[in-house]
Amino acid sequence: MTSLVRHLTFDCHDAYRQGTFWAEVLGGSITDDDRPGDPEALVEADGISLLFVTVPDAKTVKNRVHVDLQPQDRTRDEEVERLLTLGAKVHDDQRRPDGRGWVTLTDPEGNEFCVERSAAEREAFVEAAGA
């Protein structure tokens, strides 16, 4: 028998604040049991659960694991703009003139994550390249 990933866990300074940010990013919600000031906040979204746990340690180095997001109903650039309004910051912009590439953002506590092209953008690129 194999194991099942129950959720991804993130250490942070403010679990509820981080949970609120990621719930907005993923279109999910923080569980009803979690409140501001709680040491944990669980975000449930379509296909994934993220657990944020308050710890006293500060983030000091680049993440060894990060989330890659693929927008479902907007372009990569529209999604980047939406996430910036939620409090993300651009860390590294790898967008290319031909439309490929990604943008690395940071969440409110500095954790890196990437925004890739949508499936529709990828398909359009392949079709244009094959034409």
- 70-86 burial by CB neighbour count: b if 16+ within 10 A, else e? ebeeeebbebbeebeee
Contact of 83 with 90, CB cutoff 8 Å:
no
> Is this prediction's pTM over 0.85?
yes
User: Which of 17, 35, 57 represents a domain boundary (last residue)?
Assistant: 57
Q: Are residues 80 and 49 in the same domain?
A: no
pLDDT of res. 62: 86
Task: Round to whole Å and give the CA distance between 9 and 19.
Answer: 11
Is the pLDDT reported for residue 1 higher than 90?
no
Q: Are residues 5 and 37 in the same domain?
A: yes
Q: What region does 96 belong to: left with phi over 0, alpha with psi -120 to 50, or beta? A: beta
Mean pLDDT for 27-33 is 96
Strand partners, 42: 51
Mapping DSSP to helix (H, G, I), strand (E, B) and coil, where does residue 16 land?
helix
Q: Are residues 81 and 124 in the same domain?
A: yes
Q: Are residues 51 and 96 in the same domain?
A: no
Range of the domain at 1: 1-57
In Å, how far are 2, 16, 45, 101 from 118, measured between CA atoms?
Answer: 31, 29, 18, 11
Which tokens belong to 129? 């390249």
Query: Closest by alpha carbon to 14, among 27, 30, 2?
Result: 30
Per-residue pLDDT reduced to its tens digit, 36-51: 999 999 999 999 999 9
Per-residue pLDDT reduced to its tens digit, 65-124: 999 999 999 999 999 999 999 999 999 999 999 889 999 999 999 999 999 999 999 888
